[in-house]
Amino acid sequence: MSEDLHEFALTVNGVTHDLAVPARRLLSDALRHDLGLTGTHVGCEHGVCGACTVLLDGRPVRSCLMFAVTAQGAEVTTVEGLANDDDSLGPVQQAFAECHGLQCGFCTPGFLTTITAGLRDNPTPTHEQARDMIAGNLCRCTGYQNIVKAVERAAELSGEQR
């Protein structure tokens, strides 16, 4: 049996793409394999690690726990969509660079998307809130200290940009 393909438009980082994929195509795979947006990483593929986190209509969600067809009609933002309009690093990316918030970088796209949304909801987090903001994402390298610093630095940078 050949599998039915579903044809639909998927909006990622403001660009609308036409897709024809089986219903079982995970959003993470559609982004990486069908659209070539390999910034979104896949670690555990069952919702635990957070590497695949993207923004769906601005809210962080696990792209490995969603089918691409379900994302039809929504605005998806991936790590590729977090840079400033002139292609310079966005505030959260800049803060990660400054604070040494990554080592291998595998987990980073998920942290960047999560923190971007977190700071939008709470632009001036306390240290405790900064820790809380990243509690659902795993990193095997950094020990998290510099990621927490990066959250606080990103809050400063976003404040300056406003």
Partner 1 sequence: MKPAPFRYHRPSTPAEACEALAAELRDGAGAKVLAGGQSLVPLLSMRLASPPALVDINHLDPAAGLAAIEIRPEGVHVGALVRHADLLASEEARLAQPLLAQALAHVAHPTIRNRGTSVGSIVHADSAAELPAVLALLGGSLDVGSVRGTRTVPAEELFVGPLESSLAPDELALGATFPALADGAGVAFAEVARRHGDYALVGVAALVSNDTVKAAYLSVSDVPTVIDLTDVPDDDLGEAALSRLDPIGDIHATADYRAQLVRVLTAKVVREARKAR
Ligand X SMILES: Cc1cc2nc3c(=O)[nH]c(=O)nc-3n(C[C@H](O)[C@H](O)[C@H](O)COP(=O)(O)OP(=O)(O)OC[C@H]3O[C@@H](n4cnc5c(N)ncnc54)[C@H](O)[C@@H]3O)c2cc1C
Report d(CA 118, CA 98) in Å as an integer.
19
Applying CB under 6 A, the span of 9-17, 77-85, 113-121, 140-148 interacting with ligand FES comes to 140-148
Pick out residues in 90-129 that bind ligand X (CB under 6 A): none
Task: Indicate if the alpha-carbon torsion angle 131, 134, 138, 141 is positive or negative.
Answer: negative
Q: Which of 59/126 has CB closer to ligand FES?
A: 59
Strand order in the sheet with 59-62: 15-21, 6-12, 75-77, 53-56, 59-62
What are 97's two structure tokens?
């660079």
Residues that bind ligand FES (CB under 6 A): 42-45, 47-52, 62, 64, 102-107, 139-142
Residues that bind partner 1 (CB under 8 A): 1, 3-4, 6, 22-24, 26, 29, 45-47, 50, 53, 56, 59-62, 64-67, 69-70, 72-73, 114, 135-136
